[in-house]
A and B are shown apart, each in its own frame.
Chain A
Amino acid sequence: MTDTTQATGQASPLAGSPRTPDMPDDIRQHICSSAVSAATGSGTTRAERLALKELAISGKPFGPGSKTEHEGETMTGAQAIIASLEAEGVDVIFGYPGGQAIKIYDALYDSKSIHHVLARHEQGAVHEADGYARATGKVGVVLVTSGPGATNTVTGIATAYMDSVPLVVITGQVTRGVIGTDAFQEADIVGITMPVVKHSFLLQSNDDLTRTFREAFYIASTGRPGPVLIDVPSDLAGAEMVFHYPDQVDIPSYRPTYKGNAKQVRQAVELIRTSERPVLMVGGGVVSSHACDEIVELSEKMQIPVVTTLLGKAAMPCSNPLNLGPVGMHGSKYANMALTECDLIIAVGARFSDRVTGKLSEFAPHAKVIHIDIDPAEIGKVRDPQVPIVGDARNVVAAINARLDKVEAQPASLAWVQQCFEWRERWPFYTTDFADYPDRIAPEVVLERLSNRLDPHNSVVTTEVGQHQMWAHQHIHREESRTFISSGGLGTMGFGFPAAIGAKIGRPDAQVVCIAGDGSIQMNIQEMATAIGNGVAVKVLLIDNNALGMVHQWQRLFYHERYSCTEFTANPDFVKLAEAYGWGAERITHPDQIDEALDRMLAYDGPYLLDVIIPTAQTVYPMVAPGAALDDIIGAIDVTLGGVRVTEKGMSPAGSMGGTVAEPLPLNAKTDGASRVAGATKVSSADAEMGAEAKPADVSDAKGGE
Chain B
Amino acid sequence: MKYILSVLVENKPGVLSRVTGLISRRGFNIDSLTVAPTEDVTMSRMTIIVNADEIAYEQLTKQLHKLVSVYKISDLTEEDAIERELVLFKVLAQPDKRHEIIEIANIFRANIVDVGKNSLTVEATGTQSKLDALEDLFRGYGIRQLTRTGKIAMSRGARDS
The residues of A with any CB-CB pair to B shorter than 8 Å are 190-191, 194-195, 198-199, 202, 204, 219, 251-254, 375-377, 380-381
Residues of chain A contacted by B67 (CB below 8 angstroms) = 199
Contact of B69 (CB < 8 Å), options: A195, A202, A253, A381: A253
B70 to chain A: closest residue by CB: A253
Cα-based distance from A528 to B7 in the complex (angstroms): 49
Q: Are B66 and A377 in contact (CB under 8 A)?
A: yes
**B65 CB-CB contact with A under 8 Å:** yes
Tell which of B12-20, B86-94, B134-142 binds the partner. B12-20
Q: Are A253 and B58 in contact (CB under 8 A)?
A: no
Q: Are A252 and B71 in contact (CB under 8 A)?
A: yes
Cα-based distance from A259 to B70 in the complex (angstroms): 22
What are 19 sample pairs from A and B whose C-beta atoms fall under 8 A apart? A191-B17, A194-B18, A194-B21, A195-B21, A195-B22, A198-B68, A199-B67, A199-B69, A202-B14, A252-B71, A253-B10, A253-B70, A253-B71, A254-B68, A375-B66, A376-B62, A376-B65, A377-B62, A377-B63
Contact of B68 (CB < 8 Å), options: A190, A204, A219: A219
A380 to chain B: closest residue by CB: B58
Q: Are B59 and A377 in contact (CB under 8 A)?
A: yes
Cα-based distance from A251 to B69 in the complex (angstroms): 9
**B117 CB-CB contact with A under 8 Å:** no
**B25 CB-CB contact with A under 8 Å:** yes
B43 to chain A: closest residue by CB: A253
Cα-based distance from A381 to B25 in the complex (angstroms): 16
Residues of chain B contacted by A381 (CB below 8 angstroms) = 59
Assuming the A-B contacts A194-B17, A202-B13, are A253 and B68 also in contact, with contact meaning beta carbons closer than 8 angstroms in the complex? yes
Residues of chain B contacted by A204 (CB below 8 angstroms) = 13
Cα-based distance from A491 to B25 in the complex (angstroms): 21
Cα-based distance from A530 to B70 in the complex (angstroms): 40
Q: Are A377 and B65 in contact (CB under 8 A)?
A: yes
A215 to chain B: closest residue by CB: B68
B69 to chain A: closest residue by CB: A253
Residues of chain A contacted by B13 (CB below 8 angstroms) = 202, 204
Residues of chain A contacted by B17 (CB below 8 angstroms) = 191, 194
Residues of chain A contacted by B59 (CB below 8 angstroms) = 377, 380-381
Most buried by A among B10, B14, B18, B68: B68
Residues of chain B contacted by A380 (CB below 8 angstroms) = 58-59
Q: How far is the CB of B53 from chain A (nearest CB, A)?
A: 14
Cα-based distance from A204 to B14 in the complex (angstroms): 12
A-B contact count (CB 8 A): 36
B60 to chain A: closest residue by CB: A377
Residues of chain A contacted by B10 (CB below 8 angstroms) = 253
Residues of chain B contacted by A377 (CB below 8 angstroms) = 59, 62-63, 65-66
Cα-based distance from A204 to B17 in the complex (angstroms): 17
A256 to chain B: closest residue by CB: B66
A384 to chain B: closest residue by CB: B55
How many chain B residues touch A (CB < 8 A): the figure is 19
Cα-based distance from A436 to B152 in the complex (angstroms): 73
Cα-based distance from A354 to B53 in the complex (angstroms): 22
Cα-based distance from A220 to B128 in the complex (angstroms): 43
* Apart from the given pairs A194-B17, A377-B63, 6 other A-B contacts in the complex at a CB distance below 8 Å: A198-B68, A199-B67, A219-B68, A253-B10, A375-B66, A377-B59
Residues of chain A contacted by B69 (CB below 8 angstroms) = 199, 253
* Binary flags per residue of B120-146, CB closer than 8 Å to A gives 1, else 0: 000000000000000000000000000
The residues of B with any CB-CB pair to A shorter than 8 Å are 10, 13-14, 17-18, 21-22, 25, 58-59, 62-63, 65-71
Cα-based distance from A202 to B14 in the complex (angstroms): 9
Q: How far is the CB of A444 from chain B (nearest CB, A)?
A: 40
Q: How far is the CB of A351 from chain B (nearest CB, A)?
A: 13
Cα-based distance from A202 to B68 in the complex (angstroms): 14
Cα-based distance from A252 to B17 in the complex (angstroms): 20
Q: How far is the CB of B144 from chain A (nearest CB, A)?
A: 35
Contact of B14 (CB < 8 Å), options: A190, A252, A254, A376: A190
Residues of chain A contacted by B58 (CB below 8 angstroms) = 380
Cα-based distance from A655 to B40 in the complex (angstroms): 72
Most buried by A among B10, B18, B59: B18
Q: Are A195 and B68 in contact (CB under 8 A)?
A: no
Q: How far is the CB of B46 from chain A (nearest CB, A)?
A: 14
Cα-based distance from A377 to B66 in the complex (angstroms): 8
Q: How far is the CB of A244 from chain B (nearest CB, A)?
A: 21
Q: Are B63 and A195 in contact (CB under 8 A)?
A: no
Residues of chain A contacted by B66 (CB below 8 angstroms) = 375, 377
A190 to chain B: closest residue by CB: B14
A228 to chain B: closest residue by CB: B68
Most buried by B among A219, A253, A254, A375: A253
Most buried by B among A204, A376, A377: A377
Residues of chain B contacted by A219 (CB below 8 angstroms) = 68
Residues of chain A contacted by B63 (CB below 8 angstroms) = 377
Residues of chain B contacted by A194 (CB below 8 angstroms) = 17-18, 21
Q: How far is the CB of B16 from chain A (nearest CB, A)?
A: 12
Cα-based distance from A381 to B60 in the complex (angstroms): 10
B72 to chain A: closest residue by CB: A253
Residues of chain A contacted by B18 (CB below 8 angstroms) = 194
Residues of chain A contacted by B21 (CB below 8 angstroms) = 194-195
A202 to chain B: closest residue by CB: B14
Cα-based distance from A202 to B62 in the complex (angstroms): 25
Cα-based distance from A194 to B22 in the complex (angstroms): 9
Q: How far is the CB of A267 from chain B (nearest CB, A)?
A: 20
Q: How far is the CB of B60 from chain A (nearest CB, A)?
A: 9
Q: How far is the CB of A252 from chain B (nearest CB, A)?
A: 6
B64 to chain A: closest residue by CB: A377
Residues of chain B contacted by A254 (CB below 8 angstroms) = 68
Q: How far is the CB of A196 from chain B (nearest CB, A)?
A: 11
Q: Are B14 and A199 in contact (CB under 8 A)?
A: no
Q: Are A251 and B68 in contact (CB under 8 A)?
A: yes
Residues of chain B contacted by A191 (CB below 8 angstroms) = 14, 17
Cα-based distance from A343 to B25 in the complex (angstroms): 36
Cα-based distance from A35 to B62 in the complex (angstroms): 42
Cα-based distance from A198 to B67 in the complex (angstroms): 8
A204 to chain B: closest residue by CB: B13
A254 to chain B: closest residue by CB: B68
Cα-based distance from A337 to B67 in the complex (angstroms): 38
Residues of chain B contacted by A375 (CB below 8 angstroms) = 66
Residues of chain B contacted by A253 (CB below 8 angstroms) = 10, 68-71
Q: How far is the CB of B155 from chain A (nearest CB, A)?
A: 20
Cα-based distance from A252 to B13 in the complex (angstroms): 18
Cα-based distance from A252 to B69 in the complex (angstroms): 10
A378 to chain B: closest residue by CB: B62
Cα-based distance from A199 to B10 in the complex (angstroms): 13
A379 to chain B: closest residue by CB: B62
B25 to chain A: closest residue by CB: A195
Cα-based distance from A251 to B59 in the complex (angstroms): 23
Q: How far is the CB of A695 from chain B (nearest CB, A)?
A: 29
Residues of chain B contacted by A195 (CB below 8 angstroms) = 21-22, 25
Q: How far is the CB of B58 from chain A (nearest CB, A)?
A: 7
Q: How far is the CB of A361 from chain B (nearest CB, A)?
A: 15
Cα-based distance from A298 to B22 in the complex (angstroms): 38
Cα-based distance from A499 to B10 in the complex (angstroms): 36
B12 to chain A: closest residue by CB: A204
